[in-house]
């Protein structure tokens, strides 16, 4: 995903095409059973303020030490691991919908982002990354 300033007067045809494209692939992704996916992807909100971009990621159940935020060659990577619970009592699950395992999210950074001013904060299962 490439970060770029939003221009409200942009061509609407591109927005409609992007919406259709996302709908097709999100529908297929949603129909996959979690047990057949080896990776999961946390939900991300990306907002722009007057001075920075803010990435907000929902990664509940991931321990802070298992989260990495790094920049290499103008690409911000958020990665981590949500470990599966150990079933010590051999309980029977009727359904398991929570993803476990590793995840990666990538964001191409514009040249005007100051990599020395990137900050990250993780609290209550939410990671907030600020890019100035």
Helix, strand, coil percentages for the chain (3-state, nearest 5): 20, 35, 45
- SS3 for 25? helix
- Average pLDDT score over residue span 14-19: 60
Global pTM value: 0.69
Nearest to 74 by CA among 113, 129, 121, 48: 113
**Greater pLDDT, 26 or 44:** 44
- Which tokens belong to 89? 């009592």
Predicted pLDDT of residue 93: 85
| % of the chain residues with pLDDT over 70 | 71
Which of 17-21, 25-29, 36-40, 58-62 is predicted most confidently? 58-62
Strands (E), 29-90: 43-48, 53-58, 67-72, 75-82
Q: How far apart are CA 35 and CA 99, in angstroms?
A: 8
């Amino acid at each position: 995903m490439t970060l770029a300033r939003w221009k409200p007067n942009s061509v609407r045809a591109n927005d409609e095409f992007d919406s259709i494209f996302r709908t097709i692939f999100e529908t297929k992704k949603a129909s996959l059973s979690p047990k057949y996916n080896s990776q999961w992807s946390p939900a991300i909100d990306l907002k722009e303020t007057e001075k920075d971009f803010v990435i907000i990621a929902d990664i509940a159940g991931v321990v802070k030490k298992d989260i990495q935020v790094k920049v290499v060659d103008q690409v911000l990577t958020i990665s981590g691991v949500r470990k599966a619970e150990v079933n010590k009592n051999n309980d029977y699950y009727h359904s398991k919908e929570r993803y476990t395992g590793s995840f990666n999210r990538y964001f191409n950074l514009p040249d005007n982002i100051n990599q020395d001013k990137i900050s990250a904060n993780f609290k209550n299962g939410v990671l907030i990354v600020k890019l100035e």
